[in-house]
Amino acid sequence: MFKAIQQLLVAALATFVLTVQASSQSLLRDAETEAFLRRSSYPIFKAAGLNPQSVHMYLLNENSINAFVTGGQNIFIHSGLILAADDVDEFIGVIAHETCHIACGHRLRRGDAAANAGTFSILSLVLGAAAIAAGGADAGLAILGAGQSVARGQFLAHTRGEEAEADITGAKYLDEVGRSSSGMIRFFDKLRDQEILAQVRQDPYVRSHPLNSARITNLREDGQNRVHFNTPPDPALNDLFYRLQAKLEGYLARPVQTLRKYPPSDTSIRARYARVYAYHRSLEWDLALEEADALITAEPLNPYFHEIKGQILFENGRIEEAVPVLQYAVDLAPNEPLIATALGQALVSFEDPERMRQALPILENATRIDRGNSFAWFNLAKAYSWLELQPQASLATAERFYSLGSATQAVIHARRALDGFDRGTPDWLRAQDILIATEEAAARQERQRSRRRRLQQKTSFDRLSNSLKQE
């Protein structure tokens, strides 16, 4: 486990990557979770006329029930929403509702374009992992700014007309892909009791989405005209959703709570998944490995089961044993950059030139697929440096800070990369692109830091003056 700036950042146990914690929020990244989000949401995006590759979904580590659209075609989901849903149709119902906010142009109609301006989007600011721990104060300041942007987006007001349109249009999307909108109704209905609570106690979803009996009634009336309104949840997708819930519970809840809900007598895959994380968090390595082995026995070709076993071995210091396990996970899922990053990290941790050479193509492919994977960039830069490929190391470091939104550091390393590459080569051009994109942002960040310093100095001076007056 890594520590980072002012205890704001923690790298994950097992396969979850807890990336940015600013204020009370953070992003969770996990290969299996992101695969599930794509599988469950892409049909809905297509039904809405959107390019699924252009819509990005992010899971926030936040207990409250909420989901919101911000920064263009980006959907943020609170972990509390997933844990509160009784089945996959309730979850998908919320996604369909939020999809309309994008496809129906609600944010554009409210003149949100100005809020999206700037070199670094909120996504590039928050996509990162343990590499941030080595990023320094500049990265920390950028991260804090990102968290504030997320918080602002969370509480954006929604008009009743837009919400009504998102309900009915979302139900239409669901019907087109053979899903029932009854899940949306059930989920909204369970939140209806929250409306009588004081606002400070309400979940954000209730505060920003006016849930009332009329909306639920309208959805029920609309359901009478939907072909698939009475269609039950897809069994396979529902099982994947329950696995995701179990992983989240095992990772986020206290181990004693997880083991109480999923006792050893429960040998289902869902229960074993939850216990893997509970045992791992409790540092019960042998028990965690027993559960991982049981999962692999049940599904030998499941890459995520091999991934978690490899991560347990790695974090327990058994790196030699971890590498072949992680390699097999990569072989089973060659297009999962987070799994590849785990393998690359294990190879780099040997701090051996031969292992570094093995890690290079793995990490290069991971960053090619996932440009915002700052942890992969961090390990790639380390491998380049060990092999005395300093211009490449500088470029990878510039990419890392670029993905974190740390413009000042990105500028420094982009300039170093430019000095090391031949003019006009692809790497030189990429370094130039980063430099052009970050110079203005770096100046803006420096102005912000200067304002903060002046404000802190003024506050300190005022406190001293008041203290002297009181004396």
Higher pLDDT, 161 or 319: 319
* Closest by CA position to 206, among listed 218, 193, 215, 216: 193
Lowest mean pLDDT segment, chosen from 114-118, 208-212, 451-455, 458-462: 114-118
Q: Is residue 393 part of a domain?
A: yes
Contacts of 469 (CB under 8 A, 6+ apart): none
Average pLDDT over residues 69-90: 91
Number of H helices, E strands in the chain: 22, 5
Model pLDDT, residue 449? 67
Q: Taking 60 as the threshold, does the pLDDT of residue 459 lie above it?
A: yes
Looking at every residue in the chain, the average pLDDT score rounds to: 81
pLDDT confidence tier of residue 248, bands split at 50, 70 and 90: very high
Q: Is residue 318 part of a domain?
A: no
- Out of 235, 253, 280, a domain closes at 235
Q: Looking up tokens 């409210």, which residue turns up?
A: 110
pLDDT confidence tier of residue 431, bands split at 50, 70 and 90: very high
**Cα–Cα distance, 107 to 115 (Å, whole number):** 10
Model pLDDT, residue 454? 73
Higher pLDDT, 410 or 4: 410
Q: Taking 90 as the threshold, does the pLDDT of residue 361 lie above it?
A: yes
% residues pLDDT > 90 (the chain): 59
Q: How many domains does the chain have?
A: 2
3-state secondary structure 211-249: CCHHHHHHHHHHHCCCCCCCCCCCHHHHHHHHHHHHHHH
Average pLDDT over residues 295-301: 97
**Residue 284 in tokens:** 């019960």
**Cα–Cα distance, 465 to 11 (Å, whole number):** 43
Q: Give the count of beta carbons closer than 10 Å to the beta carbon of residue 366.
A: 27
364 within 8 A of 386, measured Cβ to Cβ: no
Model pLDDT, residue 163? 83
Q: Taking 60 as the threshold, does the pLDDT of residue 86 lie above it?
A: yes
- Out of 202, 235, 268, a domain closes at 235
346 within 8 A of 101, measured Cβ to Cβ: no
**Cα–Cα distance, 417 to 393 (Å, whole number):** 8
**Residue 69 in tokens:** 């659209």
The domain in which residue 456 lies consists of: 388-471
Average pLDDT over residues 293-317: 96
- Alpha-carbon distances of 139 from 11, 26, 257, 404, 413, rounded to whole Å: 16, 15, 35, 7, 14
Model pLDDT, residue 275? 97
Model pLDDT, residue 461? 58
pLDDT confidence tier of residue 456, bands split at 50, 70 and 90: confident
Model pLDDT, residue 68? 87
150 within 8 A of 64, measured Cβ to Cβ: no
Q: Is residue 148 part of a domain?
A: yes
Model pLDDT, residue 209? 61
- Out of 235, 268, 288, a domain closes at 235
Q: Is residue 280 part of a domain?
A: no
pLDDT confidence tier of residue 216, bands split at 50, 70 and 90: confident
* Closest by CA position to 44, among listed 165, 172, 161: 172
**Cα–Cα distance, 161 to 104 (Å, whole number):** 12
Q: Is residue 286 part of a domain?
A: no
Model pLDDT, residue 246? 95
Higher pLDDT, 23 or 330: 330
Lowest mean pLDDT segment, chosen from 45-54, 317-326, 453-462: 453-462
143 within 8 A of 22, measured Cβ to Cβ: yes
Model pLDDT, residue 85? 94
Average pLDDT over residues 361-375: 94
* Closest by CA position to 72, among listed 18, 29, 12, 115: 115
**Cα–Cα distance, 466 to 460 (Å, whole number):** 10
Q: Taking 50 as the threshold, does the pLDDT of residue 423 lie above it?
A: yes
**Residue 201 in tokens:** 């106690």
176 within 8 A of 103, measured Cβ to Cβ: no
Vertex 61: Cα angle to 56 and 63 (nearest 5): 120
pLDDT confidence tier of residue 237, bands split at 50, 70 and 90: very high
- Work out whether the CA dihedral 151, 157, 160, 161 comes out positive or negative: negative
50 within 8 A of 103, measured Cβ to Cβ: yes
pLDDT confidence tier of residue 162, bands split at 50, 70 and 90: confident
pTM for the model = 0.78
- Report the SS3 class of residue 68: strand
What phi-psi label fits residue 210: left (phi over 0), alpha (psi between -120 and 50 degrees) or beta? beta
Average pLDDT over residues 287-309: 97
Q: Taking 50 as the threshold, does the pLDDT of residue 20 lie above it?
A: no
Helices (H), 299-389: 303-315, 319-332, 337-348, 353-369, 374-386
pLDDT confidence tier of residue 49, bands split at 50, 70 and 90: very high
- Alpha-carbon distances of 270 from 92, 105, 286, 352, rounded to whole Å: 20, 38, 19, 39
Model pLDDT, residue 154? 41
Q: Is residue 204 part of a domain?
A: yes
pLDDT confidence tier of residue 213, bands split at 50, 70 and 90: confident
**Cα–Cα distance, 252 to 278 (Å, whole number):** 9
Q: Give the count of beta carbons closer than 10 Å to the beta carbon of residue 268.
A: 13
pLDDT confidence tier of residue 170, bands split at 50, 70 and 90: very high
* Closest by CA position to 161, among listed 231, 209, 217: 209
Q: Taking 50 as the threshold, does the pLDDT of residue 149 lie above it?
A: no
